[in-house]
Structure 1
Amino acid sequence: MSASDQRRSIFISGGASGIGRATARYFGERGWFVGIGDVNETGMEDTLGLIPGGFKYAHKLDVRDREAWETALAAFATAAGGRIDVVVNNAGIATGGPLAGLETEEIERCLDINLKGVLFGAQAAYPYLQKTAPGSCLVNIASAAGINGGSGLSVYSATKFAVRGIAESLDAEWAPEEIKVCSICPSFIETPLLDGTGNRKSNEPVRDRVKAAGLEITPVEEVAETIWNAVHGHDLHYLVGKTARKLNFAKRWMPGKVRKQGRMSASLLGK
């Protein structure tokens, strides 16, 4: 069987829940061979149970470990018949609160997972995407917090601005080899992250603060559909949810107003 006849495959980090799980299910239902990586092995088993058919694979992966990326992708490529068409850098955590009050370990953990994990994933994915180009794609999951930095979001926003920047850099760097690169920028998505508090000094779930602010919570399936469109499209950045689209518009055309509103309101994650 030639390479062009083989079943296309996708590997998703952070596949045990949330966006990773929804994306795995979305691509699996459309006939793709789906691989997921996560530190949560029980969650990965639950994800695999939602994917129809037998073309699915899970591998324990801590995205902070560069060698672990090599091992996970090599194992998945073997399971998928030697090819990887798409890698989704999805694994991430939320960290919020005033910078002065954040513990060093909180800052380093967010930087290691959200930023180093994306860079390591891109490095490890490159040779596989190179082989399946044209048509191969690296998808980085950013955030509306990567469009504008809000109060209490300095560390998280730093990582998500960086994730968008990495997509832009690699889009140029890998263009000669016809590897597509893009970022996905969701606003508040219905995932387990909303049930966390954002930082260790708060006991109020993020979900409650989002609802109190009157902001919408977008179904996670909308992100999965956007990733599908990105893999089959040609844009660089994709926005998901009304909040992300409104923020992107305002940041471009009314930056002064966005800055003023940011100074007047407390961050949802940092309060």
Structure 2
Amino acid sequence: MSARKAIFITGGGSGIGRAIALYFGERGWFVGLGDIDTAGMKETESMLPGGYHYSHKFDVRDRDAWDKALEAFSTAAGGRIDVMANNAGIPIGGSLIENSVDEIERCLDINLKGVLFGAQAVHPYLKKTAPGSCLLNTASAAGIYGSPGGSVYSATKFGVRAITESLDGEWLADGINVRSLMPSFIDTPLLDHSPNKKTNEGIRARVIAGGLEITPVEEVAEAAWNAVHGEKLHTVVGKTAKDLAFAARWMPGRLRKRIRGGGKMLGD
């Protein structure tokens, strides 16, 4: 087994996944990228130092594809996977009655089932490199408190939070750490998407109109490194997420009143 530690990252073709890849790659790790975006992965690879990287095109909704991707990456990395970042995800917004069946099912399949399938598939690899190996799930500030216009997305991110907490207990005996990231609005291409098919207004415009901060993606990458090497179960990233976590814990009634009264949009 190679002495060089290895991390596999879904959604590695852009955004948070790319930032995590660069952060770990710059610190000497062998980096694996998983995505449906081949061009995006090639661009990420071009930014990584040396030749210690590998990319694999696959869909996180396909359970069999997970096994093939991880087996190929483990072989490329010298027989090991120390960290798996369950990061692939898509946004969806707007009122529930505006969301189509296809939009709802796609978000649930990628954001939730994809995380479950990834965890299931990577377990034997992380057990092999334990103790100290880590499953890192990208949740969201939307997994702290649900807000109007975010019912489907929040449901998936509350689910990722629950998966993290469940596996934190399940995998303790195997020596595998399980962690989550809970970022707020991060400066990635996802902010330039529209919330759903019935609106052309981008998410970024709504965030700016709501007076909320957009956190540099590099902060999430640093948080990912700290989460993998630390003891904290959930790592909150960005001012909006931190404010929301504080309010949900210490002022739940006030937070509910604010949300119901049409306060600032919360989530990532």
TM-score under structure 1 length normalisation: 0.96
- Per-residue CA deviations over 1:117-137 (Å, capped at 9, x if unaligned) read 000000011000000001100
Query: How many residue pairs get matched?
Result: 267
**Counterpart for residue 95 of structure 1:** 92
Matched-pair contact (CA < 8 Å) for 1:151–1:267 = no
Cα distance between partner residues in 2 of 1:142 and 1:198: 18
Cα distance between partner residues in 2 of 1:191 and 1:133: 32
Matched-pair contact (CA < 8 Å) for 1:23–1:224 = yes
Do residues 180 (structure 1) and 199 (structure 2) align? no
**Counterpart for residue 203 of structure 2:** 206
Question: What secondary structure does 2:125 align onto?
Answer: helix
* Partner residue of 2:116 out of 99, 114, 119: 119
Letter in structure 2 aligned against 1:204: E
What is the percentage of aligned positions where both structures have the same residue? 66
**Counterpart for residue 217 of structure 1:** 214
Question: What secondary structure does 2:236 align onto?
Answer: strand
Cα distance between partner residues in 1 of 2:53 and 2:5: 12
Question: What secondary structure does 1:134 align onto?
Answer: coil
Matched-pair contact (CA < 8 Å) for 1:206–1:269 = no
**Counterpart for residue 22 of structure 2:** 25
- Per-residue CA deviations over 1:5-24 (Å, capped at 9, x if unaligned) read 61000000000000000000
* Partner residue of 1:106 out of 88, 103, 106: 103
**Counterpart for residue 149 of structure 1:** 146
Matched-pair contact (CA < 8 Å) for 2:164–2:178 = yes
Matched-pair contact (CA < 8 Å) for 1:12–1:88 = yes
Do residues 229 (structure 1) and 226 (structure 2) align? yes
Letter in structure 1 aligned against 2:48: I
Cα distance between partner residues in 1 of 2:145 and 2:21: 29
**Counterpart for residue 44 of structure 1:** 41
Aligned-CA RMSD value = 1.3
Runs of at least 4 residues off by over 2 Å: 266-270
TM-score under structure 2 length normalisation: 0.97
Do residues 193 (structure 1) and 190 (structure 2) align? yes
Cα distance between partner residues in 2 of 1:237 and 1:102: 29
Cα distance between partner residues in 1 of 2:122 and 2:218: 25
Cα distance between partner residues in 2 of 1:232 and 1:205: 35
Matched-pair contact (CA < 8 Å) for 2:131–2:176 = yes
Q: How much does 1:100 deviate?
A: 1.2
Unpaired stretches in structure 1, ≥5 consecutive residues = none
Unpaired stretches in structure 2, ≥5 consecutive residues = none
**Counterpart for residue 13 of structure 2:** 16
Cα distance between partner residues in 2 of 1:94 and 1:264: 24
Matched-pair contact (CA < 8 Å) for 2:104–2:152 = yes
Letter in structure 1 aligned against 2:224: I
